[in-house]
Amino acid sequence: MKRMVEFIVNGEAREMAVDGCRSLLDALRDDVGLTGTKKGCDVGDCGACTVLVDGEPVNACLMLAVEAEGRSVETVEGLQPGVDRLHPLQDAFMRHGASQCGFCTPGILMMAKKLLDDNPSPTDEEIRFGLSGNICRCTGYTKIFDAIKSAAREMEAARP
């Protein structure tokens, strides 16, 4: 039996009819057409599917689409502040080569955004703790941490 779900994705109101057993991840990718959010494991281990729900990071694979009713969901597609403009994190990831195959990148960007929103200048330890649910099998993490620290400095400098 399908249910109607009304929710907000990246600031835009949406409506969709979904099966009760459909994950938010599958709904975002296949029903809404936002394929930026990735499916790595489908069981909460890798963090590739990380999105923010009412501002809090969750694994979209471990949430049902019907639970998004009335909530606001942010995905990597909503990270850009405007057309042709990148979020400082996206810019820093490109400059530092923090993305190789790129599969982990959307999840890490969303997690890093939340981390910097809460804590504008995190220590190395805080970054590691914050990203412990995001697995990258390519980069060895060093460039990811460098990019996050660099973006943190730029965001701090840009603050009035």
Partner 1 sequence: MRRFDYYRAETLEHASRLLTELGDDTFLFNGGTDLLVEIRERLRRVRNVVDIKQIPGLSDITYDETRGLTFGALVTVGRLENLSLVRQQYPNLRAALASLGSIQVRNRATVVGNICRASPSADTIPPLVADGAFVHIYSRTDMRVVPIAEFFTGPGKTVLAKGEIVTGITVPPAADNIGKAYLKHGRRKAMELSTVGVAVSLAMDEGVCSDVRIALGAVGATVLRAPQAEAMLRGSRLDAATVRKAADKAMEECTPISNVRASADYRRDMVGVLTGRAIRQALETFA
Ligand X SMILES: Cc1cc2nc3c(=O)[nH]c(=O)nc-3n(C[C@@H](O)[C@@H](O)[C@H](O)COP(=O)(O)OP(=O)(O)OC[C@H]3O[C@@H](n4cnc5c(N)ncnc54)[C@H](O)[C@@H]3O)c2cc1C
Applying CB under 6 A, which residues contact ligand X? 44-45
Residue of the chain from 3, 39, 114, 149 that contacts ligand FES (CB under 6 A): 39
C-beta nearest to ligand X: residue: 44
SS (H, E, C) the chain: CEEEEEEEECCEEEEEEEECCCEHHHHHHHHCCCCCCCCCCCCCCCCCCEEEECCEEEEHHHCEHHHHCCCEEECHHHCCCECCECCHHHHHHHHHCCCCCCCCHHHHHHHHHHHHHHCCCCCHHHHHHHCCCCCCCCCCCHHHHHHHHHHHHHHHHHCC
Binder of residue 39, out of ligand FES, ligand X, partner 1, none (CB less than 5 to 8 A by kind): ligand FES
- CA pair distance 103, 38, nearest whole angstrom: 7
Residue of the chain from 2, 17, 20, 41 that contacts ligand FES (CB under 6 A): 41
β partners of residue 23: 64
Interface with ligand FES in residues 103-122 (CB under 6 A): 103-104
Least Cβ distance, residue 43 to partner 1 (angstroms): 5
Binder of residue 75, out of ligand FES, partner 1, ligand X, none (CB less than 5 to 8 A by kind): none
Closer CB to ligand FES, residue 31 or residue 159?
31
**By CB under 8 A, residue 4 contacts partner 1:** no
Closer CB to partner 1, residue 31 or residue 154?
31
Name the site residues for ligand FES (rule: CB under 6 A): 39-42, 44-49, 59, 61, 99-104, 136-139
